[in-house]
Amino acid sequence: MNYLIVSIVLVLLGLSYFLVREHRWRRRERRREQSIRTLLDEADALEASLLTCRERMQTLRGMLVDLPEEMTGDADEALAADDKVQAALRDLLQHRLWIKQHADDAGQAELDAAVEALSQSRRSMEQQLLRLDEMTAALREARAR
């Protein structure tokens, strides 16, 4: 009888251990999948911001044609960033290749660092877009005068 109780307790302990490990593994896998999804979403958002930036820069460039040179200094400086947008798009392509080739093997810390890097780049690009919007509004106002 004692052997039966000890055996049942050992089986229950083993089963509990297995269930806890399984739960932890599933939680880690869900976190990993979420990180990869977030990484891809951030890459998409950054690409959209970069393309919007390029479009707004072209609009701004078209507006500069009609204005005197002394009024276009800040805008010219912003438009000089077109090469930076191209470089950022190339870097983004490199990030996408890394995701495709290494996301399955990367550690959680690497995935988290990649997500943070893309998030930071996207936030920076959003600030640049706001700056371009402000310059465009100022140039429209100057043209209206």
Whether the per-residue pLDDT at 38 is higher than 90: the answer is yes
Number of domains in the chain: 1
Instruction: Evaluate whether residue 6 is within a structural domain.
Output: no
Least confident span in 48-57, 100-109, 117-126, 133-142:
133-142
Tell me the two tokens of residue 2: 């004692």
Within a domain: 25: no
Is 16 a member of any domain? no
Considering the chain, what is the average pLDDT of its residues? Answer: 84
How far is CA 132 from each of CA 49, 102, 106, rounded to the nearest angstrom? 12, 35, 37
pLDDT over threshold 60, residue 71 = no
Does residue 13 sit within a domain? no
Check residue 81 and give its pLDDT: 66
How far apart CA 128 and CA 122 sit, in angstroms, is 10
Q: How many Å from the N-terminal Cα to the C-terminal Cα in the chain?
A: 99
- pLDDT class of 76 with cuts at 50, 70, 90: low
Residue 60 within any structural domain of the chain = yes
Quick one: what percent of the chain has pLDDT higher than 70? 88
Structural domain including 115 reads: 30-144
User: Which of 14-18, 75-79, 84-88, 130-134 is modeled with the greatest confidence?
Assistant: 14-18
Return phi, psi of residue 130, to 5°. -65, -40
pLDDT tier at 95, thresholds 50, 70, 90: confident
pLDDT tens digit sequence for 8-35: 999 999 999 999 999 999 998 999 999 9
User: Locate tokens 């988290």: which residue?
Assistant: 112
Indicate the pLDDT class of residue 78, thresholds 50, 70 and 90.
low
pTM of the predicted model as reported, rounded to 2 decimal places: 0.71
Stronger pLDDT, 29 or 73, i.e. the higher one: 29
The reply to whether 21 falls in a domain is no
The first and second tokens of residue 40, run together, are 């891809």
3 part of a folded domain: no
